[in-house]
Amino acid sequence: MMCRQIERAFKVITIFLTIAVFASTARGDLSGWRIGIDPGHGGTDPGAVGPTGLQEKEVNLTASLGMRYFLVRQNAEVFMTRTTDVTLSLSSRANFMNSNDVDRSICVHHNSSSNPDPNWHLTYVAEGTGWATSGDLAFDISHRVTDFNGLGFGWSNCGREGVYEENFYMLIYTYMPSVLPEISFISNPLEEQRLYHDRYCYGNGRGMYEGIMDHLGGWGGDAGEVEGHALEIAQLPTEFKLHQSYPNPFNAQTVIPLELPQRSMVKIELFNVSGRNLGTICEGIKEAGWPKVHYNAAHLASGLYFYKVVVEGLEQGGSFMDTGKMLLLK
Ligand SMILES: [Zn+2]
């Protein structure tokens, strides 16, 4: 008798646990949700530029790729206006969101000021939507991003912490609930140094993802896990690649973007037009991903230069070599 009672109790508990596990899985799943991500600026439009030359278009993309990784892992369908450094008009970005009929549109930006001091987070929504669905999403994103990067909120004009109403193009020409997070101030010298690290940008991407989870899925995970998860970026490049340096022409800061499918030893050397080796721009181990090598050519005269990249894969082997040219105009 006693045994049967225990067995019955056990069955009830098992059924209860099964339901609980199923419910928590369902709550954390974004299947069926179509999320649009627009990494702001790109190509000929660098966006804001930090005190030592870091360009907003670059960090917008890195944070966006981080966000996409986590969303895809939760089975969301993600639509990105750009995944590389290309020039796009605002109307084509809005059309992209509308024609793909996404459920939420997230335009990723970093803020800037002529004053080097400010550094805070705000997520923008169209006027009058601070307490509507857009405002709910903005509130969740703002709180998760600041959980990660430790920044405070800028002043709100709608009485909702972390949310600011302003009629940016992408907020009023998209048909779905739309938000525009300005993650932090690239114009702040200390913040710019943090933004140079891809892992920091991926972490901000995870913060945005967690805000979306809070908004749509009811659970966003633990922001404290960012460092470990940032290493898992699933959509790594599939091959070694060297991209054109930018800006080009330049004076005197430039960025050489690479794609590495695996952890690699990277060496970049500089040559002049007559083929003379002018020294090494960079030599060392880089993690898999989209590393950007920053170079300051202030000591060189105006002219055309070549950069030669040699890469040795450290995980699956293989090697890669390519050359690019850049024009220094002082
Ligand atoms: Zn921007």
What are the pLDDT digits (tens) for 59-97? 999 999 999 998 998 889 999 999 999 999 999 999 999
98 is a domain residue: yes
Q: How far is CA 306 from CA 244, 254, 282, 319, 324, in A?
A: 11, 13, 14, 20, 6
Same domain, 42 and 101: yes
146 lies in a domain? yes
Final residue belonging to a domain, choices 230, 263, 285: 230
Cα(42) to centroid of ligand 1, in Å? 10
| Residue 290 pLDDT > 80 | no
The per-residue pLDDT for 149 is 85
CA of 303 to the centre of ligand 1 (A): 31
Q: What's the 39 CA to ligand 1 centre distance in angstroms? A: 9
Does residue 260 contact residue 322 with C-beta atoms inside 8 Å? no
Angle between helices 133-149 and 198-212 (to 10 degrees): 140
Measure 299 CA to ligand 1 centroid, in angstroms.
31
- Do 66 and 108 lie in one domain? The reply is yes
| pLDDT tens-digit readout, 235-246 | 567 889 898 887
Please check whether residue 37 is in contact with residue 67, taking contact to mean a CB–CB distance below 8 angstroms: yes
Same domain, 154 and 63: yes
pLDDT, averaged across the chain: 86
**What is the pTM assigned to this prediction?**
0.64
Please indicate, yes or no, whether residues 159 and 308 belong to a single structural domain of this protein. Answer: no
Range of the domain at 201: 31-230
At 12, phi and psi to the nearest 5?
Answer: -60, -45
Distance 56 CA to ligand 1 centre (A): 7
Last residue of a domain, one of 202, 230, 258: 230
| 182-230 tens-digit pLDDT | 999 999 998 998 898 888 899 899 999 999 998 987 654 443 343 434 4
Whether residue 233 is predicted with pLDDT greater than 90 in this model: the reply is no
User: For 48, phi and psi rounded to 5 degrees?
Assistant: -70, 155
Nearest CA among 254, 280, 251, 276 for reference residue 265:
280
Strands 34-39 and 104-111, by their bridges, are parallel
Within-domain flag for 13: no
Across 247-276, average pLDDT? 90
Do the domain assignments include residue 12? Answer: no
Report the share of the chain in percent with pLDDT over 90: 65
Domain assignment present for residue 320? The answer is yes
- 250 and 196 in a single domain? The answer is no
Give 156 Cα–ligand 1 centroid separation in angstroms: 19
Which residue among 230, 255, 290 closes a domain?
230
What is the rounded distance in angstroms from the CA atom of residue 151 to the CA atom of residue 119? 7
Domain count, the chain: 2
pLDDT of 140 reads 95
What b/e sequence results for 19-33 when a residue is b if at least 16 CB atoms lie within 10 Å of its CB, and e otherwise?
A: eeeeeeeeeebbeeb
* C-alpha of residue 111 to centroid of ligand 1, in Å: 6
User: Do 97 and 191 share a domain, yes or no?
Assistant: yes
**Residue 20 within a domain:** no
pLDDT for 47: 98
Tell me if 7 is assigned to some domain: no
My answer on whether 265 and 118 are in the same domain is no
pLDDT of residue 197: 86
For residue 237, the model assigns a pLDDT of: 76
Q: Which residue stretches of 154-307 are H helix?
A: 169-172, 189-195, 198-212, 226-230
Residue 19 pLDDT exceeds 70: no
Q: Based on the domain organization, do 187 and 110 belong to the same domain?
A: yes
Report the CATH number that the domain containing residue 125 is assigned in CATH: 3.40.630.40
Count of C-beta atoms within a 10 Å radius of residue 272: 14
The residue-averaged pLDDT of 109-134 equals 95
